[in-house]
A and B are shown apart, each in its own frame.
Chain A
Amino acid sequence: TQLLEQSPQFLSIQEGENLTVYCNSSSVFSSLQWYRQEPGEGPVLLVTVVTGGEVKKLKRLTFQFGDARKDSSLHITAAQPGDTGLYLCAGGYGNKLVFGAGTILRVKS
């Protein structure tokens, strides 16, 4: 059983649609990060949230950290083909980052 459950595992949508990816746990995290990974490359950090209820926006991406710091969501507005990739959430747990299994997003033009 993984500490961080991500859903959905796979998402295929048309360009222009909105989507939300979820990251859930029964454990409390000190911080929550979201990364995006493209094939053949390493993950790239998108955002770090540290306060319960915190909301951060990065252009068309909106990140939220749950009030109890047990969950997070990533919402993408008007998805574009360039958003295609593997999205990973990672929670600060003790002295290490624990990663979710990822959501593979494919945006078709």
Chain B
Amino acid sequence: DTAVSQTPKYLVTQMGNDKSIKCEQNLGHDTMYWYKQDSKKFLKIMFSYNNKELIINETVPNRFSPKSPDKAHLNLHINSLELGDSAVYFCASSPYFGTNQPQHFGDGTRLSIL
């Protein structure tokens, strides 16, 4: 069974559209994250939730809205997509909140804006 699964794996859409990415973890972890990896492979934190509560919101445009219906799920909705949003988005989870916790990543969602 996949520990951290995100869907879809690929997302190709037009500028201005709204899209969502879903993430689920079956590890029983308390903390979940969204990261953005750009074309140069630089990975940067966007959001972190601990037990459904928003802990980190890293100066991300408010077109990006995360939602955690329960601690096993963290979804990302993006409004009015822009060319600069093209990237690979990774969901991750860790047992607890803390920078020494092992983070388990999904396989990413490659978002391409036309």
Contacts and interface: CB of A to CB of B under 8 A. Distances in A.
Interface of A: 2, 30-31, 33, 37, 40-45, 48, 50, 86, 88, 90-93, 95-99, 101-102, 104
A48 B105 contact: no
Contact of A92 (B41, B44, B99): B99
Contacts, number: 64
Given A42-B4, A42-B105, A95-B48, 14 more contacts: A42-B107, A42-B108, A44-B105, A92-B99, A95-B55, A95-B99, A96-B48, A96-B58, A96-B99, A98-B45, A99-B43, A102-B42, A102-B43, A104-B41
A54 to B, nearest CB: 12
A50 B99 CA distance: 10
A107 B45 CA distance: 30
Contacts of A2: 42
A30 B100 contact: yes
Contacts of B69: none
A45 to B, nearest CB: 5
A45 B103 contact: yes
A77 to B, nearest CB: 24
Main SS of chain B's interface residues? loop
Nearest to A45: B102
Main SS of chain A's interface residues? strand
B99 A42 contact: no
Interface of B: 4, 40-45, 48, 55-56, 58, 90, 92, 97-100, 102-108
Contact of B107 (A31, A40, A95, A102): A40
Given A30-B100, A93-B99, A95-B55, A43 B105 contact: yes
Nearest to A96: B45
A48 B100 contact: yes
Given A42-B4, A42-B90, A42-B92, A101 B103 contact: no
Nearest to B45: A96
A102 B56 contact: no
A42 B91 CA distance: 9
